[in-house]
Amino acid sequence: MRLIILDDDPVYRMGVRAAAESDSAIAVVAEQSLPEWRPGRKPPALAELVAQSDVVLVGGPSPARLARTVRLLTSDAQRLPALDAQQARQRAGPVARVLVASDDGNTAAVVSVVRSGAMGYVMKSVSARTLLRSVHLLAEGGAAFGAGVAEGLRGGLGMLPQLPSRLAFPNLTERERDILELLALGWENKRIARRLVLAEKTVRNHITGLFRKLEVPDRNAAMMRARAVGIGVEQKAAEV
């Protein structure tokens, strides 16, 4: 998979490049500072690079600038000026899959970049393993939201666009996905077991696997990550 690294901090870029180059499946095709642009126009050189990439990692301290950069990368503003990022993706064909890395995990920062079109958001402090796993998830058509941004996502649930569960966690099995959807509704193991006609011990084993794949420590954290991408949110509203 082909990765572009955009960040004004050369030390961070160097660290990401070193991590990416340790993964034989990833090729870094470009590394540069965040782009400057004129309203409504992508820099030609950047547009060409983006067209050749699978994932663009965008990092920086300013949520506003991160959001502008994500919009630049995920929409064709020059050709479709009246469309928002989601409509542009639907009508203009494939665009960059953007993973944001930031030190800011509050609600406003997370929501602003996700609404701008980012498919992933992790804290800069995450391990190289977690960062590379996020890159892989986006390249495979999924989304990746680090545990470190869960609070921000929880605070902005009503503002976030819905992400299909199969896009959000493509590494889950069908059974794990079924269990996660019920867990996100706040169901206990016994109730989940009855619904899915499974032994309660089997449900516990699946939930342990879920924690490992989602990189979360407990049920509450797993529930938060699921609801952050829309899993369990609409069902919960219907149940109340």
Burial class (CB in 10 A: 0-12, 13-18, 19+), 145: buried
Architecture of the domain defined by 167-239: Orthogonal Bundle (1.10)
pLDDT by residue, tens only, the chain of 240 residues:
999 999 999 999 999 999 999 999 999 998 988 876 555 565 666 777 777 788 999 998 787 788 888 877 776 433 333 334 444 344 344 456 889 999 887 777 787 787 777 888 888 988 999 999 889 888 877 777 777 665 555 555 454 555 555 556 767 888 998 899 899 888 889 999 999 999 999 999 999 999 988 878 888 888 877 877 767 654 433 332
pLDDT score recorded for residue 112: 78
pLDDT score recorded for residue 83: 34
3-state secondary structure labels for all residues of the chain = CEEEEECCCHHHHHHHHHHHHCCCCCEEEEEECCCCCCCCCCCHHHHHHHHCCCEEEEECCCHHHHHHHHHHHHCCCCCCCCCCHHHHHHHHCCCCEEEEEECCCCHHHHHHHHHCCCCEEEECCCCHHHHHHHHHHHHCCCCEECHHHHHHHHHCHHHCCCCCHHHHCCCCCHHHHHHHHHHCCCCCHHHHHHHHCCCHHHHHHHHHHHHHHHCCCCHHHHHHHHHHCCCCHHHHHHHC
pLDDT score recorded for residue 84: 41
Contact 55, 97 (CB under 8 A): yes
Contact 113, 93 (CB under 8 A): no
pLDDT score recorded for residue 69: 82
- Give the start-to-end residue ranges of the domains of the chain: 2-160, 167-239
pLDDT score recorded for residue 78: 35
Which one is the CATH code of 2-160: 3.30.310.80, 2.60.120.200, 2.30.30.40, 3.40.50.2300? 3.40.50.2300
pLDDT score recorded for residue 37: 59
